[in-house]
Each structure stands twice: as C-alpha cells, then as structure tokens.
Amino acid sequence: MSGPLEGIRVVELQGRGPGPFGGMVLSDLGADVVTVARPETVHAPVGESDHERSLKGHRRFDLVTRGRRSVAIDLKHPEGLEVALRLVDEADVLVEAYRPGVAERLGIGPEVCMERNPSLVYARITGWGQDGPYAAMPGHDINYVALSGALHALARPGTAPAPPLNLLGDYGGGGMILVIGILAALIERTRSGRGQVVDAAMIDGVALLTTQLRGMRAEGLWSDVPGTNVLDLGAPFYNVYETADGRHLTIACGEPKFYANLLRAIGAEDDLLSQQGNPRTWPAAKERLATIFKTKTLAQWCSILENVDTCFAPVLTLDEAPTHPHNVTRRTFVEIDGIVQPGAAPRFSRTPASPGRVPRSGEHTTETLLAAGFPAEEISRLRRAGAIVQAEEEADSGAMAR
C-alpha cells in the first residue's frame, strides 16, 4: 500500500531549507517526487570540505532529501532546460525555491510552465515573498522570524532573542505552509481543472504562526517584557525546571486541575494553586517549584509523574528521544540505511505514509528519463552534450528512491 498522495507527480527544483523539507513531506505521503539537481552536485571536487559539500547537496545524511528520484540537469544548457520542461509537462506540481525572478531568467518560470501544462500547481517558496521591499534581498530563517515579530517574543530576560533552531522559519512557517498550499491547490484543481501559482513565503508563514499571540496581545495578555508571559517561561505552571542530576523537565499545567494534581504529587502547598492566575505571585512560585524539582533526579521525577494526571515531559537529547518507550511504541522514529530519523507524519488508516531512502545526486537521471519516454539514444546524446549527468556506480541498478 502507498500513501494518500500516490499518483501525484512532483518536480522539485533543487533548493535548500523549506523546499526540500516540503518535498520530503510530499514524498513521505506517497507522491512521486523527482528532484532536478544541479550537475555540479553529482561529483564532489577533491578536497572540498563537508560544509561545502552540504551546501551543494553531497550528503547521505541530508535526510530532508529522502524518498526522491534525483535527476541531474543543467538548466542553463538549452537542451537541459528542455529536458526539465518535458518532465514538468507530465507533472502535477512543480516546487521552486529560487529568489524572485531566477526561475523566469532560467526559462522555467510559471508563465512558461503553465502555458505548456495548464493544470500544473506551480509552488514557490521564498523567504520574503515574490514582492515587497525585501523581496530581492537574501536571507535565512532567523531573518524572517525577526521581521515577523516572532523572534522578539522568544526573548528571555537578560539575553538576546534566540530562535528555535531553524524549525520556525524554514520548516514550520516555510515547508509546512508550502505543503498546505500545494494540497489546497490540488483540491481546488479537482473542481476547476486548472492549476495555479502558490506563493509561499516564510515571512508570511511565521507571521501566521503568531496568530494566537496577536490575540493575546490585543487582549492585554501578552507583554513585551521577556519572561513575564504564560508561554515565555514567565509562569510557574508552564516552565522548564532543573533536576538534582542537572537534567531538566517541562511542566505545562495551564488548567487548574492538572496544576493541582502536579502540586499534590510533588508535595507542594495548595496555596500555589489559588494564586495561579495572579502574575505577581509567579516569580516566587517559580523559585519554590525550582527548589522542589532539584531534590530528585530526572528519572525519579519521571517515575512519580508518569502515574499522575498532569502535563509534564522530560527534556530528552536527540539520541535519547528515539529510545523513549512512547516513541518506540508509536515508531515515531525509524531507521533507514543505518540512520535513525523521524518517521512519516501524520498517520493514515488505509493508506499509510512511509519515508524513503536518501538518493545520491543524479542517481536516477537515466531511469527517470527512460520512464518519461526519452529514447536511450537521446539520453546518451544529452549526456555527451553535458545537458544531463548520471551518477556513477548505482547502489542498486534500476532502484527507485522509495
């Protein structure tokens, strides 16, 4: 059985960050995703650093590229461009992560592609969007998170605002929003029969994720002073506490019944509960809970709180998370080609999603073009002309990435 997107064909123009992540999600869900890789990514130059290799796509550990077929095409070569366009002709979706105007200059912009394939969903993911004063500027996750207002909300007392890695801009506000846009356009296409352009911008996506904070701000429930709000470690009942062994656990008991159960389990006085809604009491309450949680190790607290109807979880390392009994039971993490990684999400009752392996750049050039109807003689000629590149030493001749 394949995932719910079985039969959907996606061409992904190789990019970084949100584009590959969005392609990974689509592939996990069953779509047939073909990445158009740059020829220079097929063979790493001698002496190239790991960082340089990673920037060009040379890494078997680049897990967000899993599940694809990889076709190396030189889009700047006239014949290479035509090869890519012929693949787009038969696609349902094209994913493009270039800066505004680059795809048009290459000759693979939405006007060209959708004239050839009117039902195509042309999905564009950028940082700043296709228009606006910043549209042509370069940027990365932290920049978009900053301009959306979200980074300021992540500040803590006495320190500069720290982003949650690149999870908020690249993936939450970028790749996930990109996938939502693609799926919405595919659903609309079933009614109209027509494709459309999806303009997914990380600045917009991160701003969307702050909707609740905007409401709290309007209601007077969110202050610009770091560490004084419910969600920014200002509240004693929604916080991270150190344990006796230097580890940490999280508490998230916004509901009085869960907070009451927690206080009872840890031996705290009930007067803490009666003051839960009074922010003036929060600093003293946090100190009191911090003192209590330092009296036992993380394992001891887990043993106690796992049997209590309250909201808590231990802070696990990246290595510990896959071995936690809950994650093991749900198979939240899987191992593919010897690499532990997150499994597909969400879950489906009839058409289960599943992740594939990471392809080598240009691994599937020949087989993909053969499957697309290119004659073997034409493929050989295109290779000689430098329009396409086939990676050598196939790990499994004819094998697909899935």
CA distances from 107 to 80, 100, 130, 240, 252 (A): 11, 13, 17, 51, 51
Please tell me what DSSP assigns to residue 201. Answer: E
DSSP string, 219-232: TT---SSTT-STTT
* Residues tagged active-site: 140, 170
CA distances from 170 to 92, 164, 167, 204, 211 (A): 24, 11, 6, 12, 18
Q: Which helix (H) or strand (E) holds 382?
A: helix 376-385
Distance CA 235, CA 278 (A): 10
Choose among 241, 371, 338, 252: nearest CA to 293.
Answer: 241
CA distances from 280 to 107, 257, 326 (A): 61, 21, 37
Per-residue HEC secondary structure of 315-381 comes to CCCCCCHHHCHHHHHHCCEEEECCEEEECCCCCCCCCCCCCCCCCCCCCCHHHHHHHCCCCHHHHHH
Q: Burial level of 228, CB count in 10 A (0-12/13-18/19+)?
A: middle
Which residue reads 């009839």 in tokens? 350
18-28 vs 176-192: helix crossing angle, rounded to 10: 60
Distance CA 120, CA 192 (A): 12
